[in-house]
Structure 1
Amino acid sequence: MTYTQASMDALRHSGDELADSVVATLFERGEVGTFNTLMRYVSTSGAPLPDGLPDVARAYLEATSTPPAWVDWDEMEKARLFFIDNNVHISTALSFAAMPACYVVPHVARLLSATHGLDYPSKRMAETGQFTVYLMRPDAFEAGGRFLPAAQKVRLLHASIRHHLKRENRWDDQALGTPICQEDMIGGQMFFSLLVLDSLHRLGIHMSTEGAEAYFYAWRVVGAILGVDQAAVPRDLDEARQFLDRYMLRHMGPSQEGAHLTRQLIDLYEDVVPGTFFDPVVSALIRYLIGETCADWLQVPSTRWDSVVKVVPSMLGVLESIEDASPVGAWALDRLGHLTTLLELSSLTRGRVMHYAIPEQLKKDFGVSGGVPRTRRWTPPAPASAG
């Protein structure tokens, strides 16, 4: 698939017809509060839907209760094992590369600012972390799994943001496109898949081609479940590179909102890490993973640790050598990674479960009411040529 300015422009004016119609009907009938109250009891796949659920919501939940028929479950299992093998590194890439990349797209930063809570700046990271952990559990798509209900709610959350911004005329559709449009949804999918893989490569993580492709495939499945147009989404890593490069060249730049969100992110992780000695590592990692230009746009401070973090790939290489040479070492490191990820998630959520409720109004504060074989080591696709 070839992406052009015209094809990307077309994606800017398309949302999610199914979810948008459900949310519009819920607001029109005054049923959002009832929906949110009842949906707090729907957290696992296969659970009976509660009595009193609005008919339009019930129909939506039933229609979206299963993954796409085309899913390759062998590939999904490879992705899960890849995640287990690299969960700490993936969490690092999500936190210090993927999220800042969102902030370096000014209209996305503006939208995120409009939907963040000043009193709980970790909410976005907590939701992303919890969502990823749900996705990579063995029972993610089985009865009792938590991923599909979370995805159903996230899809409606996105639709509700589009609904509010359009209804209150607080978004310039002509200049900015539809809020959370298809281009931005695919862009987000690329941030959480290809950009994460790029960051792991930059950190010196030894990834197999099979593992990297499986991880990307898992996010393709996620995109389909979240309403991404499968006729437009990149089908492999080479197409992903072409899309992501063009997307970033079209949109990236500095913004006050992006700098503000990045400051919140840095403060959040400095609070998570005990003491203050290692606080500068947060800024240094962001600079290392997203590059000097983007870091300057986001006003990420330079610190004495900027040079130190450049030895991280060598340190990780030693750990991976231990993992490769010893089954016991591999088990211990994977277990440590699992516990570290859960500890980070617990700190971000403050022990809460993220329910992804449909907001009845937007925040006024912002002006808006292991197991994969290590063969064929993966290297990133070449940059897309300009055109």
Structure 2
Amino acid sequence: MKKILISAAALCFSALSFGQHYTFETVTDLEATPVISQGITGTCWSFSTSSFLESEIIRTTGKQIDISEMYNVRNTYPEKARNYIMRQGKAQFSQGGLSHDVINSIARYGMVPQRVYTGLENGQEKHNHIEMVSVLEGMLKVYVENPAKTLSPKWKQAIESVLDVYLGKNVSEFTYEGKQYTPESFLKMTGIRPEDYVSVTSFTHRPFYSDFVLDIPDNFSNGSYYNLPLDEFVAVIDHALENGYTLALDCDVSEPTFSQKNGVAVIPADENDVKTMLSTIKEEKRISQEYRQQEFENYHTTDDHLMHIVGKVKDQEGHVYYKVKNSWGTDKNRVGDSEGYINMSVPYIRLKAISVMLHKDGLSKATRKSLKL
């Protein structure tokens, strides 16, 4: 999933003088690390899932560890390149990815703290991958065209060299808080076990209570998802939060009623309320399983962006929203107090959430039994 942050101005609407302005009260607020920016990159999948894993480390150890998002990105690009080349260009190669790509990365390559691997080279202060990705894409197209008629294995070294130049060379050993680690031993120290994490979704084109490969463009690694009825999918989120587990979220944020500026994401019952609902409470649409499926299959719901669900709030009329941490940094012109967070309504989640990832212990006993976990 990818979402490149360039400007939030397009989502800014003026507050109108009628209706109730949003006032939020905390219901559940689980601990998370500070909001940071993914810069001009499509690496929300690593930022959101890394934030999720940071909360998992807090939950299990009490330690706040800022882990490197770009270490995961650095080790995922060669996997994307191999997939693209071996499928002879008939595959996705982009900046996008999904939560399980981070899990795959840490399972294979371990984990490192942010200060050990920043992914910022030559005095950079913010991430910008536009040039790097253009270079990689150009190289991969040449390899697929195979002008020499025999593909040399040197393409692997060439891809690694480009990543070294733009992101920095990989890490094998480092010191953290006075102790020596490898990426593998650092992962073990955090207590994170990649096999403990599951992805859950809700679609009718595959049987419920089974797992399947979700057919979305950024699923280049063919990750599997457990399929649940929509009501149970939402119940999974509620149960996890109530029991101290945060969740990584894959979601469509292309709706005009998703606003970083206003800090809300809603689904109006009346399309005439699109602008006013960003600042005032209005009735929301009831989202059925059938309508969710329809909007997915007609491309109105796509996997635009990954974020991190850390809690719940309610407005003054008692409507519930999920507190979602974003990776677009903070905005001093933001309406409201929670800079970098979005309060996402239940209807928005029911319609626009592609999937969530969580620790399997965050599932209810009934759901674990249904999924044979």
Pick the structure with more strand per residue.
2
TM-score using structure 2 length:
0.27
- Ranked by relative contact order (alpha carbons within 8 Å, sequence separation 6 or more), the top structure is 1
TM-score when scaled to structure 1? Answer: 0.26
Q: Which has the higher helix share?
A: 1
